[in-house]
């Protein structure tokens, strides 16, 4: 949507290159593509959005070559063309209402929003008064000056036409999402005709779109004071109140508007417009009531200690509104469920709002708590201190900061004990940390919380990443104390909370190995490595070690098979082999039953393998270290390959004389 050609005063040769091919008007917010076609910023943006919705690459609608994604402001992409565009001569769109302004296109927006360049309110004595901002406009130029003896009715009609023309200009700005400019022009219309409720309601819409919800409520209140049946103002006010977290006030305002509309409907004997208005109010009331009920249910759930129900309630409310207080409620519930990443995204959404200053302390408390419970203590405490600086008297900030500092001190003390190898004391310290600061007692007893404030940090911590890390560290203490069963239990809980916690997986596998459950340890780590841990060195090493222990347990005991000891000499081993092989030689059992003969043949073959391994010093050394026959063969093959690579003249590299064969 651009500037109408009837308001352009320059000759066609000057402005023809700047006519938007979409709206066929001189481009407003001129934007140029790589193909040199110029469009309105709004028109080309809307075109691109439509194309993307259809799954089509957005190319220039004229030549189908320029990429719309590469659109740039004309003044930036082509400064010379930008200067020519700025010098296009135009007149005020309110020229038909008597405004004689003409000038450069670049100055048009400033003229439209300039309080001193429109109609003189003194033209009709007492016909209008300045608004709260002190706006008093005047006639400029000589076009259609009001007659000296203009009647009050004629003056009022003339001012109404002017206000309507201003509203039309503001509507165009609103449609292209230039909400700031639209708000200013609506303000001029209000100054000309301050008693028209629709102008104030429309300016409230501009405030709503830029996140100025308090200003929106004020404008809508002023509009409803002039026309209690203006449904659009009542609904907009309700939405703004919901965004401010004032659901009760939103509902009461809608009920008052509904009562006024019902009274007007009865007085006028019905009417399609009033019936439709009542229906719209009923729909908005239902929406607000649903949001209010969801918020109340969420707070009650927090009060009862039911974080799952709180998350469901606030999540349901988010389907109807993006109110910051509801987003923060949902973020708090997500934190209580251990979904820290989701919590951080929601708090960042609040901090990026246009009205972020109002919610910044509360958002920083939730975000700081999330960072503390995700094992980023220093960063989280810094955010909590910032929240306390912004709101020194805030009880939530004080309470949460104090809890975070206490948690950090206890965690450091427990880690220090573990580093000193005082594992009994460290395990006890981690137990206190988990019970008191990380909410284990809360989880077991389902303690209640204060529904009117931010929950205690411990109430949100039972399934947090920090709780998982603390459990994994306590499991390590249990393992060092010789309590592998307790270690396995703690690791299982830690993995349930945080599936990708490497320490918990490694400690669990080690504890299972200590219990002799090498198959379980190997199977667990194999699953982890195949799913997501293939590139983690610690997991790979732990898996290889668990697999080694499993195979070590499954390999045959060659010493027991030969009935000799580990310290037996090679001569003693060969003698034991001779004795056992005579007892199991196939020729000796040729006349036996097939199953007996097969058993002795297998035993005779195994005795040969035992002699092969134990009579070779290198193979015997590897066997004593825990390797099975297959692993021994691989080790020897690798050693032979390394020896061959290192052989020859000059370490295998050749001397260059041609004598190396």
pLDDT for 554 equals 81
Q: Which of 437-451, 496-510, 575-589 has the lowest mean pLDDT?
A: 437-451
Highest mean pLDDT, choosing among 33-42, 505-514, 631-640: 505-514
pLDDT for 120 equals 45
Which whole number is the average pLDDT over 24-50? Answer: 88
pLDDT tier, 121 (very low <50, low <70, confident <90, very high otherwise) = very low
Contact 352, 361 (CB under 8 A): no
Dist CA 590 CA 415 (whole Å): 68
pLDDT for 140 equals 38
Contact 315, 346 (CB under 8 A): no
User: 453: which DSSP letter?
Assistant: S
Highest mean pLDDT, choosing among 127-131, 316-320, 427-431, 585-589: 427-431
User: Among 534, 547, 466, which Cα is nearest to 501's?
Assistant: 466
Q: What does residue 474 show for φ and ψ, rounded to 5 degrees?
A: -65, -35
Contact 336, 369 (CB under 8 A): no
Average pLDDT, the chain: 85
Highest mean pLDDT, choosing among 108-117, 563-572, 624-633: 563-572
- pLDDT digit string (tens) for 140-153? 333 345 555 567 78
Evaluate if residue 492 carries a pLDDT over 80.
yes
- pLDDT digit string (tens) for 415-466? 999 999 999 999 999 999 998 888 765 555 544 455 456 888 888 889 999 9
Evaluate if residue 197 carries a pLDDT over 80.
yes
pLDDT tier, 250 (very low <50, low <70, confident <90, very high otherwise) = very high
pLDDT for 643 equals 82
Contact 250, 237 (CB under 8 A): yes
- Which of 65 and 427 is assigned the larger pLDDT? 427
- pLDDT digit string (tens) for 523-565? 999 999 999 888 899 999 999 889 888 888 888 888 888 888 8
pLDDT for 116 equals 57
- Report the percent of the chain where pLDDT is more than 70: 89
- Which of 269 and 609 is assigned the larger pLDDT? 609
Q: Is residue 493 classed as helix, strand or coil in its secondary structure?
A: helix
pLDDT for 417 equals 95
Evaluate if residue 218 carries a pLDDT over 90.
yes
User: What residue ranges define each of the domains in the chain, with the CATH number in brackets?
Assistant: 5-100 (3.30.40.10), 158-293 (1.25.40.10), 310-425 (1.25.40.10), 465-554 (1.25.40.10), 561-639 (1.10.287.110)
User: Among 539, 614, 520, which Cα is nearest to 573's?
Assistant: 614
pLDDT tier, 136 (very low <50, low <70, confident <90, very high otherwise) = very low
Evaluate if residue 256 carries a pLDDT over 70.
yes
Neighbouring CB atoms inside 10 A of 344's CB total 18
pLDDT for 651 equals 53
pLDDT for 132 equals 40
């Amino acid at each position: 949507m651009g500037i109408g050609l009837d308001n352009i005063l320059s000759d066609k040769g000057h402005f023809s290159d700047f006519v938007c091919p979409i709206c066929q008007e001189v481009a407003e917010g001129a934007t140029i593509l790589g193909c040199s076609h110029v469009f309105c910023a709004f028109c080309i943006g809307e075109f691109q959005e439509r194309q993307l919705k259809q799954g089509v690459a957005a190319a220039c609608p004229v030549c189908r070559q320029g990429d719309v994604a590469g659109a740039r402001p004309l003044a930036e992409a082509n400064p010379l063309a930008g200067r020519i565009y700025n010098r296009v001569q135009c007149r005020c769109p309110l020229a038909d209402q008597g405004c004689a302004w003409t000038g450069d296109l670049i100055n048009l927006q400033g003229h439209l929003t300039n309080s001193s360049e429109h109609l003189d309110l003194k033209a009709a004595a007492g016909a209008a008064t300045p608004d709260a901002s002190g706006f008093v406009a005047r006639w400029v130029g000589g076009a259609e000056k009001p007659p000296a003896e203009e009647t009050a009715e004629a003056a009022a009609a003339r001012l109404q036409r002017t206000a309507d023309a201003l509203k039309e200009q503001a509507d165009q700005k609103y449609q292209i999402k230039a909400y700031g400019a639209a708000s200013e022009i609506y303000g001029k219309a209000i100054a000309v005709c301050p008693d028209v409720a629709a102008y104030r309601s429309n300016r409230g819409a501009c405030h709503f779109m830029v996140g100025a919800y308090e200003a929106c409520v004020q404008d809508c209140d002023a509009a409803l004071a002039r026309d209690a049946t203006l449904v659009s103002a009542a609904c907009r006010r309700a939405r703004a109140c919901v965004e401010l977290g004032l659901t009760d006030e939103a509902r009461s305002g809608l009920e008052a508007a509904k009562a006024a509309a019902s009274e007007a409907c009865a007085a006028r004997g019905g009417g399609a417009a009033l019936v439709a208005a009542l229906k719209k109010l009923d729909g908005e009331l239902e929406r607000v009531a649903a949001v209010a009920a969801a918020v109340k249910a969420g707070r009650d759930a927090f009060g009862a200690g039911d974080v799952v129900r709180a998350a469901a309630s606030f999540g349901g409310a988010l389907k109807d509104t993006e109110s910051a207080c509801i987003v923060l409620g949902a973020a708090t519930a997500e934190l209580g469920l251990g979904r820290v990443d989701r919590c951080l995204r929601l708090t960042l959404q609040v901090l990026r709002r246009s009205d972020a200053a109002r919610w910044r302390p509360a958002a920083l408390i939730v975000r700081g708590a999330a960072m503390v419970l995700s094992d980023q203590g220093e960063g989280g405490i810094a955010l909590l201190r910032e929240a306390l600086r912004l709101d020194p008297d805030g009880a939530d900030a004080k309470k949460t900061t104090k809890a975070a500092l206490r948690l950090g001190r206890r965690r450091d003390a427990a880690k220090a004990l573990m580093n000193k190898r005082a594992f009994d004391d460290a395990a006890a310290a981690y137990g206190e940390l988990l019970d008191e600061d990380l909410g284990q007692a809360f989880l077991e007893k389902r303690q209640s919380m204060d529904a009117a404030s931010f929950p205690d940090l411990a109430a949100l911590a039972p399934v947090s990443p920090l709780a998982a890390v603390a459990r994994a560290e306590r499991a390590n203490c249990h393992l060092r104390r010789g309590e592998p069963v307790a270690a396995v239990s703690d690791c299982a809980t830690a993995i349930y909370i945080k599936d990708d916690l490497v320490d918990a997986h490694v400690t669990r596998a080690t504890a299972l190995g200590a219990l002799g459950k090498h198959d379980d340890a190997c199977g667990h780590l194999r699953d982890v490595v195949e799913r997501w841990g293939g590139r983690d060195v610690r997991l790979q090493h732990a898996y290889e070690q668990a697999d080694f222990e499993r195979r070590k347990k499954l390999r045959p005991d060659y010493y027991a098979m030969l009935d000799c000891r580990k310290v037996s000499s090679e001569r003693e081993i060969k003698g034991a082999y001779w004795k056992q092989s005579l007892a199991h030689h196939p020729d000796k059992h040729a006349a036996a039953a097939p199953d007996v003969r097969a058993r002795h043949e297998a035993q005779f073959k195994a005795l040969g393998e035992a002699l092969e391994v134990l009579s070779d010093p290198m193979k015997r050394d590897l066997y004593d270290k825990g390797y099975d026959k297959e692993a021994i063969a691989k080790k020897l093959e690798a050693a032979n390959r390394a020896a061959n690579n290192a052989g020859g003249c000059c370490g295998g590299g050749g001397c260059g004389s041609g004598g190396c064969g």
